[in-house]
Structure 1
Amino acid sequence: MTVLAADTWGVPGPVFLRWYLVAAVVLVVGTVVYRFRALAGTPVTDHGALGPQQVAYLNGGDQLAVWTSLGGLRRAGAVGAHPDRRLAPGG
């Protein structure tokens, strides 16, 4: 009968096999946990809805955003208009 099991690096076969399997299980579990955490991504935080100027910029560019900002300032009373349609400070 041929004996296939031998001492591996001076460690008896059953002890080597036991520690080899433990190391393999630890590596597999560690890899699964690492991949799960890596593929989960970063949590998305809610920064609220877009403001009117941001929506105007996305919809029509910088000129529409400026007009929207002026409309908001006029509504807040920060700017007004002369009868000849020029901007005036205050309401």
Structure 2
Amino acid sequence: MSILKYQQLPGPVRISLAILLWSLILWLFTLGHAGFVPVARLIFLIFVVPYAVAEWLKMKKLLSGKKLDYVRVALMVCAVAIWWLWLKK
């Protein structure tokens, strides 16, 4: 199957496939290594989810250009703050 076929999929489907792929990669990364689970969660919650939200906003044509880059960083900073507060519980 050619990768070009995936470029013709609607935006939400591509975002969902990317999230599923990252979930699978991080799950495989943690198999047999329970100590890596917090790191996998950190990667998923701080990098994957905010980037997917930013891509969704881009797909809805709410953001573009430099604003999109700033929103990605802001979402990641918010995710770090949530992660930090969650760890303190």
Q: What TM-score, normalized to structure 2?
A: 0.29
Of Structure 1 and Structure 2, the greater helix share is in 2
Query: RCO (CA 8 Å, sep 6+): is it higher in 1 or 2?
Result: 2
Q: What TM-score, normalized to structure 1?
A: 0.28
Question: Which is higher, the Rg of structure 1 or of structure 2?
Answer: 1
